[in-house]
Structure 1
């Protein structure tokens, strides 16, 4: 007979699965409480890293329609429930696992698709959404900054060639441009 505590735990894990865009199953055997705290901090506030009971997690996964964790629920298990940027969270997990080999990434799910450990590593290798957005914003700003640098370089070159401030050279340039077509027309006649 299921106790109210176990029923509540299954409901909570089921809800976590359903509300997450991704989840990564790990084994944390040998990690200290301080290391787990450091890992949780590195994952950010959009990721919940929970130590779970294997039997209850298996029930919750079935209720949530997830079969990726079958056969993986053994030993000390914790799951990263990712509600934010899955790439950034996967990167945090894999980076932490590199410096703390006791953390073993077993499997995961991303937007309903099962991932093995190499799939989680591949997800971590992608660029995070924040970085992609920043890069796009940077690309949109780049042409304007390039134009500004080009204008500055032209201004400085005009100053060097004429010995006069670029502002007066810039004012003279349109007048010279207007005179050039008139001179060409006179030579053609």
Structure 2
């Protein structure tokens, strides 16, 4: 890799770190290519990305970004999981690490705040942004549904009473 390619890669990674909210750093030693592709596919489905990185280039790209504190984690065979959704990268990384013990979560950062392994695992347990939106919409529409049911109940009861009188005679 020549200097120009390295500069382009550093600029690309710096742009990635500038546009993401969450970064999870992992060790992937011992995973097969098929397992890495499966992990990437799961990340894409969740709206995140997974990328094997060169440590020195990544440390250079981290300089001046909100994730600068992660530089110490880049030792050995590292990869990063990134997402704009605060939960997606952590959730997929932790779930995959539970299935495949060769993927080890080292830590991460969310909007510049460093996260330990325990913090990443706690973040993974939270519902995603889409799940929270669905819950909120459900809570908003539930009272309206109940009001409609209560409003219909007296009319339905009257109709049953009239029907009972009509069938009685």
TM-score (norm: length of structure 1): 0.75
Partner of 1:80: 81
Superposed, 1:146-161 pairs within 5 Å as 146-151=146-151, 153-155=153-155, 157-158=157-158
Mean alpha-carbon deviation: is it higher for 21-30 or for 147-156? 147-156
Supply the distance in 1 between the matched residues of 2:38 and 2:94 (Cα, whole angstroms): 14
Counterparts of 1:92 and 1:139, CA distance in 2 = 27
- SS of 2:115's partner is strand
SS state at 1:70 partner = helix
SS state at 1:44 partner: helix
CA contact (8 A) 1:24 1:81 kept: yes
- Moved >3 Å (runs of 4+): 148-160
Q: Is this contact kept in 2: 1:25–1:108, CA < 8 A?
A: yes
Partner of 1:116: 116
| Aligned-pair Cα RMSD in Å | 2.4
Q: Which runs of 5+ in 2 are unaligned?
A: none
- The reply to whether residue 105 of structure 1 matches residue 105 of structure 2 is yes
| Separation (CA, whole Å) in 2 of partners of 1:105 and 1:157 | 60
Contact 2:43 / 2:92 at 8 angstroms: preserved in 1?
yes
Shift of 1:6: 1.7
| Structure 2 residue 68 is matched with structure 1 residue 67 | yes
Larger radius of gyration: 1
Which stretches in structure 1 are left out of the alignment for 5+ residues?
169-189
- 1:147 and 1:48, CA in 2 relative to 1: closer, same or farther beyond 3 A? same
Query: Residue 26 of structure 1 corresponds to which residue in structure 2?
Result: 26
Offset of residue 50 of structure 1: 1.0
Q: Give the TM-score taking structure 2 as reference length.
A: 0.83
Residues 1-189 of structure 1: pairs in structure 2 closer than 5 A? 3-44=3-44, 46-64=47-65, 66-83=67-84, 85-151=85-151, 153-155=153-155, 157-158=157-158, 162=161, 164-165=162-163
Cα distance in 2, alignment partners of residues 156 and 99 from structure 1: 54
Larger relative CO (CA 8 A, sep 6+): 1 or 2? 2
Q: CA deviation at 1:52?
A: 0.4
1:106 Cα offset (Å)? 0.7
Partners of 1:118 and 1:69 in 2: CA distance: 16
1:157 Cα deviation from its structure 2 partner = 4.5
Change beyond 3 A, Cα 1:152–1:108 = same
Aligned residues: 163
